[in-house]
Amino acid sequence: MTTSRRAAIRVESRAEAFPRIHATLTSVLPAWLPESVRHRLAICLGEAFQNAVVHAWGHEDGWVEVRVALDDERVVIDVVDGGSGMTDADRRRLATAELPDLARTPLSALPEGGYGFGILRSVMDEIEYTSRRGRNRLRMTKRIADAAEPAPLDPV
């Protein structure tokens, strides 16, 4: 049996809109998906949405569209905006970012921010960024065919 669900929402580029986006994500996810996987998908969606609000729009009035698609094997989340696109440096960071080894790095040595891309790369199976005709799209894909409880994000 093939499962296919889709949902989309377009909201103003304000942090207060995140609950509506989160509801769009959860409306598509299957009930059998472990809560920890659902939570990690929500974290990634939150990171991508926040990046669109803060970096693409620079806190200016704008819009962010989220599209969620589910089939038997994967969840695909697109975060689309019409703000400023990623710089080449941002694209390189997205392609290579990792989370710090918390077991070996003193908390005082950790920077205050900058973990978003590392979180996306540690949770999602595929990440693709495109920018065409004034529209930026971050596509995040998570395979769920045999979803099980994931390993902890931090190695502590």
Q: How far apart (Å, rounded) are the C-alpha atoms in residues 155 and 82? A: 37
**List of residues 6+ apart from 139 with CB closer than 8 A:** 76, 77, 78, 126, 127, 128, 129, 130
For residue range 73-117, what is the model confidence (pLDDT) as tens digits? 999 999 999 998 877 777 777 667 676 666 666 666 655 556 678
**Which candidate, 36, 42, 1, 47, places its Cα nearest to that of 23?**
42
Predicted pLDDT of residue 41: 95
User: Which residue positions in the chain have pLDDT lower than 70?
Assistant: 1-2, 94-95, 97, 99-115, 146-156
Which domains, and CATH codes, for the chain? Answer: 5-101+111-143 (3.30.565.10)
Q: How far apart (Å, rounded) are the C-alpha atoms in residues 92 and 108? A: 26
